[in-house]
Structure 1
Amino acid sequence: MEGRKRLSNTRAELILRVLADGSDPEAVERHARWLREELEELEVDSLSALAGAESVPGAKGDVEVVGAMLVTLAQSPQLLTVLFDTVCNWLGRLGGGAPCTVRVEMNGDVLELSNASVEQQDRLIGAFVARQTR
């Protein structure tokens, strides 16, 4: 195997929660299913729905969790970036004023993605990925 990089066996577990931000929970739930379908196309080890309504630690105001999932994948900057790009592209397709936020939790660290500019999202995602892959 000379010349080949050894792949890390370190796995990352992320919890993604789609928050309805006061919008129609049924419509946002439908969108969350579309996000899940897109995430299933990525190089993830597993993707499973988290059952039951739950409160979101640190959430402000009346926020309903309409889609929560556990994603397990190799802990690499490239795969994490692809996952976040998929989430951001999905949010972008929902149009301006996206009716939801995606809250990502990993190792006690939290990142919320919603209507931030591309530059803001890139900066936040870059910092999050750097913290998680040190």
Structure 2
Amino acid sequence: MKNIIIAASLIVVGAFGANIVISETSSAACSDGKIMTLKPWYDGLLDGDCNVKSPGDNTDSQANFIWKIVLNIIEDLLQVVGYATTGYIMYGGFLIMTSNGSSDKVAHGRKTIMNAAIGLVVALSSVAVVSFISSNIGI
């Protein structure tokens, strides 16, 4: 168990470290604020000076502003679910590798992988649906 925690910690620290190095070396006027593939809540709401746009007095623009924030947050949460299911797939593989030929442990590992794969498909499909909705309603 201790080795799993150490490996997971190294993966997370490495991913964030690589993101910091990549974002510091980019030559854009303002960074996109992404961590791994997670977008910030204000994605798509910045003006040319890297400031968050004002929603304005028009109720349609305020509604679009709010929907854009909500869809950004929903997409990020679904991506976190995708990361978690990927972790469960790796965990199921670990269970199979450490089963020592026990058929019960192998079956438990396979069931874990199957359930996680189904969850991953659902999460990725949900991210695609959210992206499709946000691009088609003009937000």
Structure of higher RCO (CA pairs closer than 8 Å, 6+ residues apart): 1
Q: As a proportion of its length, which structure holds more helix?
A: 2
Q: Smaller-chain TM-score range?
A: under 0.3
Larger radius of gyration: 2
What's the TM-score once normalised by structure 1's chain length? 0.28
